[in-house]
Amino acid sequence: MQLEQRLIQEIMPHARIDNIRYYLSALNSVLSEYEITTPLRVAHFLAQIGHESGSLRYTQENLNYSAVALSSVFGKYFPTSAMASDYARKPEKIANRVYADRMGNSDEASGDGWRYRGRGLIQLTGKHNYQQCGEAIGQDLLSQPELVCSDPDVAVKSACFYWQSRKLNALADQDELVTITRKINGGLHGLEDRAAFLNRAKQFMSIDRGV
């Protein structure tokens, strides 16, 4: 199915027109490659990227945390208030610490945490995920990780790669919003917002709410 600007505006009422236009062509050319083609699959996909990207506004992880936020969100990496204060409001330094030695990243000094921080419409995070995604979509994302947020086709393809790798089409067919959210978020953060996007998608795409 072909998406139109007006439909995305209705589903994402807070999205900027220029952001919709920026991604529209890529969405229409890429979704079919990943079999995100039925109304229900498209509705669930748009609901998730709508939430994850703040209605297509944000494609890079915001790591500009205060000391208090670091202690609250990443407490195990900042066990003392002094350490949290030392890292506060230093996004690159924060990323290099919290993402060190995991997801294929090397140690804090390597800079991998910042280099492979969350990017894209469904945030791709960690060197291993960038490598896997790059191989799948035919892009060298290890040397050019910024493509995930600077190129609309790569941004959409990376989101679709993530979607496909978690087998989310099958869950969308079953209208499993909660399970899809867990697969993407690791929990249920923002579930109410995701549900609102999905309900608008169903309304404006004329999908039976009982599907």
Show which residues are catalytic: 52
The span from the CA of 191 to the CA of 125, in Å, is 21
Measured CA to CA, the distance from residue 73 to residue 15 in angstroms comes to 27
Query: What Cα–Cα distance (Å) separates residue 166 from each residue in 27, 130, 169, 181, 183?
Result: 19, 15, 9, 11, 7
Closest by Cα among 51, 43, 35, 54 to 7: 43
Q: Is 86 helix (H, G, I), strand (E, B) or coil?
A: helix
- Alpha helix stretches (DSSP H) within the chain: 5-11, 17-30, 39-52, 67-73, 81-87, 91-98, 112-115, 127-137, 147-150, 152-165, 168-173, 177-185, 191-204
Three-class SS state of 102:
coil
